[in-house]
Amino acid sequence: MTESQTSPPAVVTLASGPAGGGNIDDFELFYARRALRRFRERLGRQGLLDLLAEDIDKGEAFLRESARLSDGTFNCGTTVLATRGTSAGEFVAWMDKAFADENVLLDAQPEHYVMVGQPDGAVHIVENVGPHVCSFYLGSWSAEAMAWAADASERLPEAEFPYKKATNLYLADGTVVGRVLIQFGDTDEGFTSSLTVYLPTACPESVLEHHLRHFAVEFRNWIVASSAART
């Protein structure tokens, strides 16, 4: 074997032992989530903010500079999820209530650090945007906040996707650093989620790509949680 050649990675499967269902990846995910929940609970919201203060400052500077260089222009991408076994209306109704429970919001994604509702209906979020830990606000889902999405090319037909929510992402001083357009429509087996995020054009493509993955993780977990809440 030459220096330029590498051996294929080892493949390990579970032959026997644990009595419950699942594979090794399932076990690791369970333990990782349990460990993460413990640290969140021990540190608390303010402890997390204090711990991440330097990262948050750098993340805010990244978003602010990206917004300045982009001068109000955005690139967007869409994650599409197919769900079986529950309806769009059931999920949206659950989500509307869930946004009042910080623990439900935090549990959906490992890189959710703070997600707390504000008196005006916005949500203060501290999470990763690509590799950057960022503090920003998700605006309320009001008709005014949705106005920009009326002419968005990513807007899907009302007949197929009647459940729509849109808003801006902004810094504490009001600087708009992104947008979100999420749309849900029923299918014969369940429903489809169309999850679009808009980030400043100056952001690297990798940042947008990672947020599409972020969407996939958090909304999958919220959908599963909403289904479990009905049983």
- Looking at residue 224, its pLDDT comes to 95
CA distance 108 to 59: 21
Structure-token match 């969407």, residue found = 215
Q: Does the residue 87 lie in any domain?
A: yes
- Give the pLDDT of residue 85: 93
CA distances from 205 to 67, 81, 152, 153, 201 (A): 15, 21, 20, 20, 9
How many residues are present in the chain?
Answer: 231
Which domain range does residue 135 map to? Answer: 52-229
Q: What is the pLDDT of residues 173-203, one digit of tens each?
A: 999 999 999 999 999 999 999 999 999 999 9
For residue 215, being part of any structural domain is answered with yes
Quick: pLDDT tens for 138-168: 999 988 889 999 999 999 999 999 999 999 9
Q: Mean pLDDT for the chain?
A: 94
162 lies in some domain: yes
CATH of the domain at 146: 3.30.530.20
Within a domain: residue 16?
no
Tell me, yes or no, whether 99 lies in a domain.
Answer: yes
Residue 181 to residue 196: CA distance in whole angstroms: 5
Q: Which amino acid is at 112?
A: H
User: Would residue 66 be called left, alpha or beta, if left means φ above 0 and alpha means ψ between -120 and 50 degrees?
Assistant: alpha
Would strands 123-129 and 163-170 be described as parallel, antiparallel, or unpaired?
Answer: unpaired
| pLDDT greater than 70 at residue 1 | no
Q: Is the pLDDT of residue 111 over 90?
A: yes
20-55 residue pLDDT tens: 889 999 999 999 999 999 999 999 999 999 999 999
| 194 Cβ neighbours under 8 A, 6+ residues apart | 78, 80, 154, 156, 161, 182, 183, 184, 185
Short-list 202, 44, 200, 64, CA closest to 136: 64
Structural domain count, the chain: 1
Strands (DSSP E) found in 87-230? 112-117, 123-129, 132-138, 163-170, 176-186, 190-200
In a domain, 27, yes or no: no
pLDDT over 70 for what percent of the chain?
97
Sheet holding 132-138, edge to edge: 74-84, 190-200, 176-186, 163-170, 132-138, 123-129, 112-117
79: three-class secondary structure by DSSP:
strand
- Contact (CB, 8 A) for 86 and 21: no
Average pLDDT over residues 1-20: 81
Pick the closest to residue 105 from 46, 26, 40 (CA basis): 40
Is 13 inside a domain boundary? Answer: no
